[in-house]
């Protein structure tokens, strides 16, 4: 059996990649994808823990979370679409009317 730490390590790696992406990318879609990556790394954690603690909560949680992630992406893309319609671009770093 693969030790738990491997799962956790992978999840942490994915999570970090996601974080890095959120910090560096300018493109809105990429940012949303990175967030998905982060959510999924958490799901991975949950499933791994579920398996190692012999409880089902984790798996249930993961399923809920996947569904929620989908919904989240829907909302996100909807807002992004609206922005695209208005500005003709999806580079989020140019959105800075609101600052200071």
Which residues contribute to the site for another protein (CB under 8 A)?
A: 11, 15, 18-19, 22-26, 28, 31-32, 35, 38-39, 41-43, 45-46, 48-50, 52-55, 57-58, 60-61, 64-65, 68, 71-72, 75-76, 78-80, 82-83, 85-87, 92-93, 95-100
Rg (CA), the chain: 17
- For another protein, which is the closer residue by CB, 6 or 64? 64
Q: Give least dist CB 1 to another protein, A.
A: 16
CB 39 within 8 A of CB 69: yes
Vertex 25: Cα angle to 20 and 27 (nearest 5): 150
Beta pairing partners, 27: 91
């Amino acid at each position: 059996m693969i030790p738990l730490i491997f799962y956790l390590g992978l999840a942490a790696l994915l999570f970090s990649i996601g974080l890095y992406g959120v910090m560096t990318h300018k493109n809105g879609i990429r940012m949303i994808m990175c967030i998905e990556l982060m959510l999924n790394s958490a799901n991975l954690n949950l499933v791994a823990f579920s398996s190692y603690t012999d409880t089902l909560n984790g798996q249930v949680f993961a399923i809920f979370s996947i569904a929620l992630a989908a919904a989240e992406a829907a909302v996100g893309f909807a807002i992004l679409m609206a922005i695209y319609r208005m500005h003709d671009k999806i580079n989020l770093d140019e959105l800075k009317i609101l600052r200071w």
